[in-house]
Amino acid sequence: MNPTTTQLLQQEVPLSWYLLLSAVLFALGVVFLIKRNLITVFMSIELMLNAVNLSFVTFAHQWHEVKGQIFVFFVMMVAAAEAAVGLAIIIAVFRARATLAVDRIDLMKL
C-alpha cells in the first residue's frame, strides 16, 4: 500500500461536507415540487425532511449533544404520521376525482 492510499484511508471528512450534502438534498427536494403527480410531490417533501434530519445529526455530532438525535427521532415520528394522513387524503382525492395530476386538483369543492 503506497503512502497516498494510506493517507486517503485515514483522512477525515469535514462536517461541512455533510451539511453541504444536506443543503443539496433539500434544494433537490424543492426543485422536485414541480412534479405533476400528487404522490411524487409528497415524496419530495419526505426528501426535504430527510435532508433536514441529516443536518440535525451532523450538528448533534459536532456538539456531542444527544438532543439533536432525539429531535430527528421526533421528526421521523411526525413524518410517519404525516405520511399516513397524507396518503389517506390522496386516496380520498383519487376517489373523488380519479386523477393524481396536481393541475387537475385545483378546486377545494367538486
Residues within window 75-94 making contact with other proteins, judged by CB under 8 A: 76-85, 87-92, 94
Distance CA 53, CA 73 (A): 9
Contact 56, 76 (CB under 8 A): no
Q: Which amino acid is at 30?
A: V
Complex with other proteins: residue 35 or 105, whichever CB lies closer:
35
Pick the binder of other proteins from 1, 2, 4, 64 (CB under 8 A). Answer: 64
Residues comprising the chain, all counted? 110
How big is the CA angle at 35 (ends 34 and 37), to the nearest 5 degrees? 140
- Does 18 contact other proteins by CB under 8 A? yes
Please list every residue from 21 through 40 that binds other proteins, using CB under 8 A.
21, 23-25, 27-32, 34-37, 39-40
Pick the binder of other proteins from 9, 106, 108, 109 (CB under 8 A). Answer: 9
Task: Please state the closest distance from residue 105 (CB atom) to other proteins, in A.
Answer: 13
Pick the binder of other proteins from 2, 3, 14, 109 (CB under 8 A). Answer: 14
- DSSP code, position 56: H
- The values of phi and psi at residue 70, to 5°, are -65, -35
